[in-house]
């Protein structure tokens, strides 16, 4: 068991939260119990995840995608009102970390995905150092796609020739398709992220840099689990990940 204030203060320093310009608040988003003992972990704070936390009598929910995003309507109506009502009625803390969790060198989404796929990191670049450049074992694009399918349990969308040699890679989890131009500038063989936009297909064909869209949810499952395990080891709290598969 740990006090919520101690947990939040530690994690803010551990993830270097103050260094990031983000689209949502990082840390405690909805306040619940003062003591944290039983944590439910998920990618996104959906109603289904909250209901699972209630079922398991959790006091805290930890997610990557929380609430109160930039430019969204500030009023508490509809779906948002129902989610927050459940949290308040059951006195459950909602804690979310977005870009700081993407970027962290140990428990971050990018770091954990890179390790899972066997990438050797070289350096970071682009906005807030969120784009990872590294290498993989020499292989074809098709072989890499098969590895991604096996590791993430999701069929990726691949734009490029299956037999294309792949050695130098760029990756950023989630909805990071906007970094494709920078990845091309870094002279990589393939760029891997979660989602793809229509114009990226022509960019991939014309640049010769392959594009793999491996799923927003699928690429961002591992950072929040790694942070939860870090909490469990340091504070002796129970942390259980709930898989609520999203096809996007």
Report the percent of the chain where pLDDT is more than 70: 100
Mind listing the pLDDT tens digit for each residue in 118-163?
A: 999 999 999 999 999 999 999 999 999 999 999 999 999 999 999 9
Please, are residues 182 and 161 in contact by the beta-carbon 8 Å criterion? Answer: no
Q: What is the CA radius of gyration of the chain?
A: 19
Domain boundary residue, one of 75, 99, 123: 99
Mind listing the pLDDT tens digit for each residue in 13-46?
A: 999 999 999 999 999 999 999 999 999 999 999 9
Residue 160 inside a domain? The answer is yes
Domain containing 94: what range?
A: 2-99
Please, are residues 40 and 242 in contact by the beta-carbon 8 Å criterion? Answer: yes
Residue 228 inside a domain? The answer is no
Is residue 183 pLDDT above 90, yes or no?
A: yes
User: 129 and 200 in one domain?
Assistant: yes
User: 145 and 71 in one domain?
Assistant: no
Q: How many residues does the chain have?
A: 248
Mean pLDDT, rounded, of the chain: 97
Residue 27 inside a domain? The answer is yes
Please, are residues 206 and 175 in contact by the beta-carbon 8 Å criterion? Answer: no
* pTM for this predicted structure: 0.96
Q: How many domains does the chain have?
A: 2
Please, are residues 45 and 66 in contact by the beta-carbon 8 Å criterion? Answer: yes
Q: How far is CA 39 from the centre of its chain?
A: 18
User: 160 and 62 in one domain?
Assistant: no
Residue 231 inside a domain? The answer is no
**CA contacts within 13 A on the Cβ side of 87:** 26
Residue 245 inside a domain? The answer is no
Residue 68 corresponds to which tokens in the numbers above? 């109160």
For the domain that residue 195 is a member of, what is the CATH number? Answer: 3.40.1390.30
Residue 240 inside a domain? The answer is no
């Amino acid at each position: 068991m740990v006090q919520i204030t101690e947990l939040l203060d530690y994690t803010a320093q551990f993830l270097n939260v103050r260094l990031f310009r983000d689209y949502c608040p990082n840390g405690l988003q909805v306040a619940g119990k003062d003591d944290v003992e039983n944590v439910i972990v998920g990618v996104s704070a959906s109603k289904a995840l909250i209901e699972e936390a209630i079922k398991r009598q959790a006091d805290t929910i930890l997610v990557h995608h929380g609430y109160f995003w930039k430019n969204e309507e500030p009023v508490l109506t509809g779906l948002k009102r129902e989610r927050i009502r459940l949290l308040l009625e059951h006195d459950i803390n909602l804690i979310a970390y977005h870009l700081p969790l993407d970027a962290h060198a140990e428990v971050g989404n990018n770091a954990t995905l890179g390790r899972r796929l066997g990438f050797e990191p070289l350096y970071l670049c682009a906005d807030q150092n969120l784009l990872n450049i590294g290498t993989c074992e020499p292989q074809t694009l098709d072989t890499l796609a098969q590895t991604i399918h096996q590791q993430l349990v999701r069929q990726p969308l691949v734009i490029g020739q299956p037999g294309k040699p792949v050695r130098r890679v760029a990756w950023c989890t989630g909805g990071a398709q906007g970094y494709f131009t920078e990845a091309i500038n870094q002279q990589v063989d393939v760029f891997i992220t979660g989602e793809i936009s229509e114009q990226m297909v022509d960019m991939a064909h014309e640049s010769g840099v392959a594009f793999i869209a491996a799923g927003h949810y699928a690429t961002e499952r591992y950072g929040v689990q790694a942070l939860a395990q870090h909490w469990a080891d340091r504070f002796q709290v129970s942390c259980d990940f709930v898989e609520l598969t999203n096809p996007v």
